[in-house]
Amino acid sequence: MPPRPSAHSFRITALAAAMLACGGLVAMPAQAQPAKKIKIGFVTTLSGPNAAYGQDMKQAVELALEHLGKKAGGVPLEVLFEDDEQKPEVGKQKTEKLLQRDKVDFLAGYIWSNVLLASYKIATDNQTFLISANAGPSQLAGEQCNPYFFSASWQNDQPHMGVGELLNQKGARRLYIVAPNYAAGQDGANGVKSLFKGQVVGQDMTKWPDQLDFSAEITKIRAARPDAVYVFFPGRWGAQFFTQYSQAGLKTEVPLYSAFTVDAVSLKLQKETAQDTYLAMTWGPDLPYAANQKLVGDFKQKHGSSPTFYGAQSYDAINLIASAVAATKGNLKDKPAVGAALKAAKFDSVRGPFKFGNNQFPIQNIYQQEVYKTADGGFDLRTISTVMTAHQDVHAAKCPMK
């Protein structure tokens, strides 16, 4: 196995170093022939209570392949899907399978931060590029950044920092925080607090993923008398919290702010309980960019609803990989060239302007969104304003890559 590159640069090979010592070539370009087929391993959740999100990602990936003609730079693309069952140990096993048995050229997917953190080192030690389509834990954006890891989504703090700034813009002064006690929940709470200028009057980190009853937390919120509540609960946890919060009569008394909690899947459960709440996100189905309109339009035609942000980011992840394959003409043996092509991000993102920071996480806008009732009686999201422009996560300063 080749040596693992440092966070500053890729090391030259032993043979190239020997040639240098003998006064030969300064660098030795990879001479391997282009791959006959590029295989992408995609790890997501395809079973259990959150399978709808994995299916949304899978459908978006399949649509991306269709739009690409299943080729990049003339080289065929194939995606192999694996189910992590929302369990870190299973995700790690599936990652190992894709690398060792299926010999994939890229890894992508990963909804949950704890699953990604259990898996990413297997990929980076193997010098296989891993592109996260959702999870963006702070560790990988800072001191543990790695040239083989890219995020096509966000750093976990980013949308939550958008909520913090939105709270300031709305004049909130006393905030109560409720979030799940795992990596993304901790990043979320810290992200809100990093920008919120008022007072945090209470914070509860709930048991993950077992807790679905939030009555105790809601009772504490009522007693604390905040003028705003921030929550981060993906999937059915968000639906439960919104329902219980509304049933307790607090929705009309204390405004509810959230990130990651409302999407096209959860809205089918949340419905009107998500209306009149404040949301911050890096993507929306109504953003006016050509790539986004094509994704959303074709996705609706195929599946009857908008994609979620999970799907939108998965669509971007596949197009990012395709851009690197095309730029290198399928020669994936030249790792520095592939890394540089990924970093260049020369693809049409559904978010519009898209670039990577030094830590290979996106620098991007954050928007305020609202839930509205559609003409057919359903619910969807629309963009209200830009809360933050070209935002870079704070952990990038700790990343030694340039």
Whether 3 is covered by a domain: the verdict is no
CA distance 202 to 318: 41
What pLDDT digit, counting tens, does each position of 73-118 carry? 999 999 999 999 999 999 999 999 999 999 999 999 999 999 999 9
- Is residue 36 located within the same domain as residue 75? yes
- Is residue 242 located within the same domain as residue 374? yes
Whether 397 is covered by a domain: the verdict is no
Question: What's the confidence (pLDDT) of residue 71?
Answer: 97
Question: What's the confidence (pLDDT) of residue 17?
Answer: 37
Whether 26 is covered by a domain: the verdict is no
Q: Model-level pTM greater than 0.75? A: yes
Question: What's the confidence (pLDDT) of residue 153?
Answer: 98
- Is residue 119 located within the same domain as residue 251? no
Q: What string of pLDDT tens digits covers the 402 residues of the chain?
A: 444 444 444 433 333 333 333 333 234 444 556 678 999 999 999 999 999 999 999 999 999 999 999 999 999 999 999 999 999 999 999 999 999 999 999 999 999 999 999 999 999 999 999 999 999 999 999 999 999 999 999 999 999 999 999 999 999 999 999 999 998 999 999 999 999 999 999 999 999 999 999 999 999 999 999 999 999 998 889 999 999 999 999 999 999 999 999 999 999 899 999 999 999 999 999 999 999 999 999 999 999 999 999 999 999 999 999 999 999 999 999 999 999 999 999 999 999 999 999 999 999 999 999 999 999 899 999 999 999 999 999 999 999 999
Question: What's the confidence (pLDDT) of residue 26?
Answer: 37
What pLDDT digit, counting tens, does each position of 360-383 carry? 999 999 999 999 999 989 999 999
- Is residue 198 located within the same domain as residue 257? yes
- Is residue 229 located within the same domain as residue 374? yes
Question: What's the confidence (pLDDT) of residue 32?
Answer: 54
What CATH number is given to the structural domain containing 250? 3.40.50.2300
- Is residue 167 located within the same domain as residue 256? yes
CA distance 59 to 346: 23
The H or E element that residue 257 is part of is: strand 256-258
- Is residue 79 located within the same domain as residue 136? yes
- Is residue 375 located within the same domain as residue 245? yes
CA distance 160 to 258: 8
Owning domain of residue 386: 157-281+366-392
CA distance 275 to 290: 28
- Sort 219 into a burial class: Cβ within 10 Å, 0-12 / 13-18 / 19+: exposed
Contacts of 363 (CB under 8 A, 6+ apart): 355, 356, 357, 390, 391, 392
Helix, strand, or coil here: 130? strand
What pLDDT digit, counting tens, does each position of 203-242 carry? 999 999 999 999 999 999 999 999 999 999 988 899 999 9
- Is residue 241 located within the same domain as residue 374? yes
- Is residue 372 located within the same domain as residue 237? yes
Whether 65 is covered by a domain: the verdict is yes
Whether 18 is covered by a domain: the verdict is no
- Is residue 382 located within the same domain as residue 344? no
Number of domains in the chain: 2
Helices (H), 109-232: 113-125, 138-141, 157-169, 183-195, 215-224
**Tokens describing residue 270:** 């949340």
Whether 22 is covered by a domain: the verdict is no
Number of other CB atoms surrounding residue 47 within 10 Å: 12
Whether 56 is covered by a domain: the verdict is yes
- Is residue 161 located within the same domain as residue 80? no
The residue with tokens 């993304």 is 184
Q: Tell me if 269 sits within 8 A of 236, measured CB to CB.
A: yes
Whether 13 is covered by a domain: the verdict is no
